[in-house]
């Protein structure tokens, strides 16, 4: 029985998945990404225990929370900052990903005030059209950054698959390596190659991940055990390290097709229903405000997700051996979209087991 919806993380499986990814990469670094869990310190700790060389997140608030929890590691900021937050970045982050020279200037000034040096990865756009300067702009960017005293170009990096769904392959990863070598010749020193995110694990499996890639920023594959290119299991990882569950608040036999004049639903859609006769239906205490109903797979094949309103999840449970009772819990494996909402919702309890 359960009083509310919950998302449970098995940190042992997160640790095991991290170790498997680290081993598969054969000496390349893994920077564990915690953003989908809102920077949960328990998740970050499991990644570090599994062999991650650092932790990355998109939000400074999450990094501050992990530092406050006592985590000591190299922290990366995944989302380029605005100049107004440069002091916060310098105080909280060891390595940031940047593409705007005005922001780099602000970081330089903030680092000077803090009497330190800040490292950053220069991000280039290799076709995915999320963040990153166009490759032709990199030389001028490097020249301008190299003239500053309190920042250091730590490496060259790229993001692929997250926005434009562009797959890392021999061509775009080869371009990243070529750009890095050109930058190294320009700056006169070796640079770090940050070779993308979880999607670059597919390039590893296919044998096209360049040896020159020094590290990957990996979150989804460690946490959900799947390729972000195919959403199929990868590297033999656990695919149930994160589980969602919600209590049943109603279970009744009802028609499978609504009765009356049809209009828009609560989200502006016009749903279509097949008439399957009268069936057992259940409603769980969780909705679109908390989870993506299209992104959860019931553990029990006798359960089918029909849809959701803002705070009700509607299920067909006619395939269960017995109908559920109010308070019974139904569990699901969430995909990335669902996981993101589960951890962001203040109405979903966060649990950590398997330490």
Which pLDDT does position 2 carry in this prediction? 66
What average pLDDT does the segment 301-314 reach?
97
Q: Answer yes or no: is pLDDT of 31 > 90.
A: yes
Q: Answer yes or no: is pLDDT of 266 > 80.
A: no
Q: Which of the residues 13, 35, 254, 350 is marked catalytic?
A: 35
Which pLDDT does position 263 carry in this prediction? 77
Which pLDDT does position 270 carry in this prediction? 79
Which pLDDT does position 53 carry in this prediction? 98
Which domains occur in the chain, in start order? 11-224 (3.20.20.10), 242-353 (2.40.37.10)
Q: How far apart (Å, rounded) are the C-alpha atoms in residues 90 and 118?
A: 6
Q: 355 or 37: which carries more pLDDT confidence?
A: 37
Q: 56 or 264: which carries more pLDDT confidence?
A: 56
Range list of β-strands (E), the chain: 6-10, 29-33, 54-57, 74-77, 95-98, 118-123, 151-157, 192-194, 215-218, 242-255, 278-284, 296-298, 304-308, 313-316, 329-334, 349-353
Q: 112 or 265: which carries more pLDDT confidence?
A: 112
Q: How far apart (Å, rounded) are the C-alpha atoms in residues 159 and 216?
A: 10
* Structural tokens at position 24: 């598969």
Which pLDDT does position 261 carry in this prediction? 79
Q: How confident is the model at residue 274 (pLDDT cuts 50, 70, 90)?
A: confident
Which pLDDT does position 267 carry in this prediction? 74
Which pLDDT does position 275 carry in this prediction? 81
Contact 59, 80 (CB under 8 A): no
The number of helix segments (H) and strand segments (E) in the chain equals 10, 16
Q: 1 or 291: which carries more pLDDT confidence?
A: 291
**Percent of the chain whose predicted confidence (pLDDT) is above 90:** 92
Length of the chain: 355
Question: Half-sphere exposure (CA, 13 Å, Cβ side) for 24?
Answer: 25
**Percent of the chain whose predicted confidence (pLDDT) is above 70:** 99
Measuring CA to CA, how many Å separate 52 from each of 133, 232, 338? 28, 23, 25
Measuring CA to CA, how many Å separate 235 from each of 20, 87, 224, 288? 7, 40, 12, 32
What average pLDDT does the segment 182-199 reach?
98
Which pLDDT does position 272 carry in this prediction? 81
Which pLDDT does position 1 carry in this prediction? 57
What average pLDDT does the segment 327-336 reach?
98
Range list of β-strands (E), 72-180: 74-77, 95-98, 118-123, 151-157
Which pLDDT does position 50 carry in this prediction? 98
What average pLDDT does the segment 325-336 reach?
97
CA 39, 45, 49, 50: dihedral to nearest 10 degrees?
Answer: -30
Contact 45, 73 (CB under 8 A): no
Q: Answer yes or no: is pLDDT of 72 > 90.
A: yes
Range list of β-strands (E), 100-142: 118-123
- 13 catalytic per annotation: no
Any residues with CB less than 8 A from the CB of 188 and at least 6 apart, and which? none
Instruction: Record the pTM.
Output: 0.95
Which pLDDT does position 257 carry in this prediction? 86
Contact 46, 18 (CB under 8 A): yes
What average pLDDT does the segment 15-22 reach?
98
Q: Answer yes or no: is pLDDT of 269 > 90.
A: no
**Strands 242-255, 6-10: pairing kind:** antiparallel
Mean pLDDT of the chain: 96
């Amino acid at each position: 029985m359960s009083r509310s919806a919950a998302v449970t993380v098995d940190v042992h499986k997160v640790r095991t998945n991290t170790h498997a990814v680290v081993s598969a990469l054969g000496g390349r670094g893994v920077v564990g990404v915690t953003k989908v869990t809102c920077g949960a310190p328990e998740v970050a700790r499991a990644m570090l225990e599994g062999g991650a060389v650092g932790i990355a997140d998109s939000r400074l608030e999450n990094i501050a929370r992990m530092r406050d929890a006592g985590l000591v590691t190299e922290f990366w900021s995944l989302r380029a900052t605005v100049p107004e937050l440069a002091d916060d970045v310098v105080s909280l982050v060891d390595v940031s990903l940047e593409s705007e020279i005005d922001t780099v200037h602000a970081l330089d000034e903030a680092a000077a005030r803090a009497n330190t040096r800040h490292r950053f990865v220069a991000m280039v756009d290799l076709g995915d059209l999320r963040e990153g300067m166009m490759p032709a702009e990199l030389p001028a960017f490097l020249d301008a950054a190299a003239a500053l005293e309190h920042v250091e170009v730590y490496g060259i990096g790229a993001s692929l698959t997250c926005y434009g769904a562009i797959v890392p392959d021999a061509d775009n990863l080869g371009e990243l390596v070529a750009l890095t070598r050109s930058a190294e010749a320009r700056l006169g020193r070796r640079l770090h190659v940050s070779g993308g995110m979880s999607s670059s694990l597919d390039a590893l499996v296919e044998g096209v991940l360049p040896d020159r890639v020094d590290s990957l920023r990996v979150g989804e594959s460690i946490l959900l055990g799947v390729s972000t290119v195919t959403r199929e299991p990868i590297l033999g990882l656990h695919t149930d390290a994160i589980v969602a569950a919600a209590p049943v608040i109603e279970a009744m036999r009802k028609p499978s097709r609504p009765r009356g004049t049809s209009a828009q639903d609560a989200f502006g859609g016009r749903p279509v229903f097949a008439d399957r006769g009268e069936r057992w239906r259940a409603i769980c205490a969780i909705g679109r405000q908390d989870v993506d109903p299209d992104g959860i797979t019931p553990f029990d094949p006798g359960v089918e997700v029909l849809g959701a309103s803002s705070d009700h999840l509607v299920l067909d449970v006619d395939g269960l051996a017995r109908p559920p009772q109010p308070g019974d819990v139904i569990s699901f494996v969430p995909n990335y979209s669902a996981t993101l909402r589960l951890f962001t919702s203040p109405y979903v309890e966060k649990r950590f087991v398997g330490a």
